[in-house]
Amino acid sequence: MKKRTLIAGLLAASMIITAAAGCGAADGKADAADAGTTEDAGKPKEGGTSEGGGLKVGAATRTLRDSVYIVMRDNAQEEADKLGIDLSWQDCNIDVSVQKSQIENMIASGTDVLIVEAADQKSMSETVTDAQNQGIPVIIIEARIDNFTPDLWVTADSYQVGVQQVDEFIKKWGTTEPANVVLLSGTQGDEVAESISAGVRDQVAEYDNLTLVYEQSCMDWARDKGMAYMEDAISTNNGNIQAVFGNNDQITMGALKAAENAGLVEDMWFIGGDHEEEMVKYILDGYNVMTVDKGTEAQGKFLIDAAEMLANGETIPDTQEIDGINVWYAPTTMVNADNVKEFSAGRYPDLFK
């Protein structure tokens, strides 16, 4: 059994739904109607309010620029509406100052429970600690916040996401033919990115026929960074690359585009994470593409159920304690050509009409 790093050990169980957490950012800006972006800072966004007012939950997340986060929000909203909970879900477009302002306004407006996916895990401790000091339970999504112990941490086992990416590629490629592989990580220093990448590195080392020939971190988990670094990887290795492991789908799709522009896309596999709509399109169009689903729908629903339980002083089921933090892990599934209809038709029905 291989020894894991501390980060890997912190992230082990089952809906791996990315991110969170991965987590990742896309190229385009979110529409103001969909996201609480910079213009929305200080203005609570309308959610599914309950008649007469009940439990008030505020969710402050990194971004809504990727479809996976919209899926999470919509499932959370559906559950909140069912339970009569007033949910305000805002994103900050990966702007720390905006997120701090949003959280401060949520606290001032009488929010009962906070859900936070930190725009920067190193900068949010004081803000969320202030909420806890005022008796507001705090649930965090994806990466931990430095120097802060939340009431609950909802995440996927990011290390195992990386392991799963490599193992699923091997199922397609085999253990005999040599393969040069590329690893494109999320933002350097991001806990989720580091954990996924650690899983990839460790599992690549388990297979004698795999060689990691190129690795780079992509700021803000962005597609354009994935494309640029893949162009460099192709140049550096004279196009001799057989697989790309991306920490999220946005990075992976950037790499795919670079390979396509170089006329090499048919010779490579592209393995991402988050189960984005565009990745499903690539699978349906016959590209060598796979993506890890991190249980986004279940995460969205569970966040609201957990918020209600915390507000009522109830014990959260199906959790485990890791380093003094109560953790709920989401299940994960590798989506590929063999099961894409089963796992994607419900999320993206228009693709299957």
Instruction: Report pLDDT digits (tens) over 233-291.
Output: 999 999 999 999 999 999 999 999 999 999 999 999 999 999 999 999 999 999 999 99
What pLDDT does residue 64 have? 87
Answer whether 68's CB lies under 8 Å from 275's CB. yes
65: amino acid identity, one letter: R
Dig out the tokens for 227 from the structure: 């494309």
Going by C-alpha positions, the residue among 323, 325, 324, 328 that lies closest to residue 309 is 328
Contact criterion met (CB below 8 Å) for 27 and 276: no
Two structure tokens written together for 7 = 């980060």
CB 223 within 8 A of CB 27: yes
Q: How far is CA 300 from the centre of its chain?
A: 12
Give the other-Cβ count within 10 Å of 318's Cβ. Answer: 10
CA 85 to chain centre: 25
Cβ(38)–Cβ(93) under 8 Å?
Answer: yes
Going from the C-alpha of 196 to that of each of 72, 165, 187, 284, 292, the distances in angstroms are 20, 9, 12, 26, 11
Predicted local distance difference test score (pLDDT) of residue 44: 33
What's the pLDDT score for residue 142?
Answer: 87
Low pLDDT (below 70) residues in the chain:
1-53
Q: Residue 123 CB: number of other CB atoms within 10 A? A: 15
CB half-sphere exposure, 146, CA atoms < 13 A: 9
- Supply the pLDDT for residue 134: 96
CA dist., res. 90 & res. 43, Å (int): 9
Whole-structure pTM value: 0.78
Tokens for 242, please give them.
Answer: 């057989």
